[in-house]
Amino acid sequence: MSGPLSFETLKTQVAAGEVDTVLACLVDMQGRLMGKRFHAGHFIASAWEETHCCNYLLATDLEMTTPEGFASTSWEKGYGDYVMKPDLSTLRPMPWLEGTVLVLCDVLDHHTQEDVPHSPRAMLKTQLKRLEALGFDAMMATELEFFLFEQSFDELRKSGYRDLVPISGYNEDYNIFQTTKEEHVMRPVRNHLWNAGLPIENSKGEAEAGQEELNIKYAPALDTADYHTIAKHAIKEIAWQQGHAASFLPKWDHSRVGSSSHVHQSLWKDGKPAFHDPNDSLGMSQLMKHYMAGLLKYAPDYTYFLAPYINSYKRFQKGTFAPTRTIWSVDNRTAGFRLCGEGSKAVRVECRVGGSDLNPYLAMAAQLAAGIKGIEDALDLAPPTVGDAYAGDTGLIPQTLRDAYVTLKGSDMLRAAFGDDVIDHYARAAEVEIEDFDRVVTDYEVARGFERA
């Protein structure tokens, strides 16, 4: 595994003609890489210190429109600049792009040089600082699920995204023969990301035709969010290079299983797992129980950060391995929160609520905030649910984006953790998504009512 790169190594590679392009990227609200392609010579001469971008990059929707209602930036304020400050510890090769390296940037206010508080990396760093003050570090991992399609992105866009054909014809969960047919995409994904310095563990077929999963080893929380974002970007680019489309839309067809992004999490202290207690029947420390109680109590508050779009909520269906209730259970994939590694030092909680469309920085930051609140208030953890977690009507996950918007906007916990301005910013983003959808006449409505209404 190569990468990350030191700045001195980059200088050497540029001088040798091995690298000619540096991608300087921020992470936007949607979890995408946005930025500039620098000539490597200019980057090592001066741009490594800072560059600039329009501040609308943290106030747009998926279509990059500039909706009204954001307090941080607007037409009235003239859409000024943010500073993009390269974090040189994230410098790494992008082996699937010739002569190219990547650096992630923090987003700073142009005047104060302080972190923009609603930028995703800053939001996660805020919660990590709170944890550090309590004496803990967060170790986390995310799973990336997605679909590969026979057609390319261009072909599907020109067709209006109709007649989507997955790359396989049947459920390929753990299926080695079928995934062999997909190795022209997945092998370079694994190898290129490994060579970019990401600790790739494995890929596998998931529980639907054309569905894939990529697993990356657990790491400190900020590294994990960086890995997730880079991997998601790489998967799309590598699939495109091979003439295929890769989609992280959580539910592209109502008759198909959706794609999730499970988040595994544990707290460590002085290099040792603080969630583990060998004297507990499940191996759970009291600290872990308080943390999990916070996750459960405030799950409705932060669901928006796990499911940020209208489509996100189409996943939450019984019998699909996507949860419907904010309850916990022991090694039970029907629950919203699963205890993994019980009785061992690897004991951890897996949040199964999030979809493949989540922004990992926001999802992880919000869960850490809830867990910290659970620790601060010494919340009691209810006993685990046993059996089919779908069988019940308590502790429901918000069922629509509208429901999640209401709980987000009204969350005292999140407002205390992030500040009113940050929560209002993302509440506005939820409103924009809802308003945009409400204007659209869907195929469902036309087919259902055109003749029969």
The pTM of the full predicted model, rounded to 2 decimals, is 0.95
Helix (H) or strand (E) holding 292: helix 286-297
Beta-bridge partner residues of 215: 143, 202
Mean pLDDT, to the nearest integer, of 310-331? Answer: 85
Task: Give per-residue pLDDT as tens, 168-190.
Answer: 999 989 999 999 999 999 999 99
pLDDT of res. 149: 96
pLDDT band at 108 (very low <50, low <70, confident <90, very high): very high
More confident residue, 393 or 56: 56
pLDDT of res. 32: 97
Mean pLDDT, to the nearest integer, of 7-27? Answer: 96
Mean pLDDT, to the nearest integer, of 243-269? Answer: 95
Token digits for 21?
């392009």
Q: Which segment of 62-76, 258-272, 290-304, 416-430 scores lowest on mean pLDDT?
A: 62-76
Distances, alpha carbon 94 to alpha carbons 230, 239, 283, 356, in Å: 9, 15, 40, 22
Answer yes or no: is pLDDT of 336 > 60: yes
pLDDT of res. 1: 53
Mean pLDDT, to the nearest integer, of 235-243? Answer: 97
pLDDT band at 319 (very low <50, low <70, confident <90, very high): confident
pLDDT band at 79 (very low <50, low <70, confident <90, very high): confident
pLDDT of res. 352: 92
Of the CA atoms within 13 Å of residue 278, those in its CB half-sphere come to 1
pLDDT band at 366 (very low <50, low <70, confident <90, very high): very high
Residue of 58, 128, 53 lying closest to 86 (CA atoms): 53
Secondary structure string (H, E, C) spanning 149-201: ECCCHHHHHHCCCCCCCECCCCECCCCHHHHHCCHHHHHHHHHHHHHCCCCEE
Mean pLDDT, to the nearest integer, of 380-404? Answer: 86
Tell me how far apart the alpha carbons of residues 441 and 400 are, in angstroms, rounded to a whole number.
18
Distances, alpha carbon 56 to alpha carbons 79, 84, 103, 158, 418, in Å: 6, 13, 21, 28, 20
pLDDT band at 75 (very low <50, low <70, confident <90, very high): confident
Answer yes or no: is pLDDT of 388 > 90: no
Task: Give per-residue pLDDT as tens, 188-208.
Answer: 999 999 999 999 999 999 989
Q: Which segment of 11-15, 78-82, 297-301, 429-433 scores lowest on mean pLDDT?
A: 78-82
Mean pLDDT, to the nearest integer, of 127-151? Answer: 96
Token digits for 252?
């592209």
Task: Give per-residue pLDDT as tens, 36-49.
Answer: 999 999 999 999 99
Domains and CATH numbers, the chain: 7-116 (3.10.20.70), 127-445 (3.30.590.10)
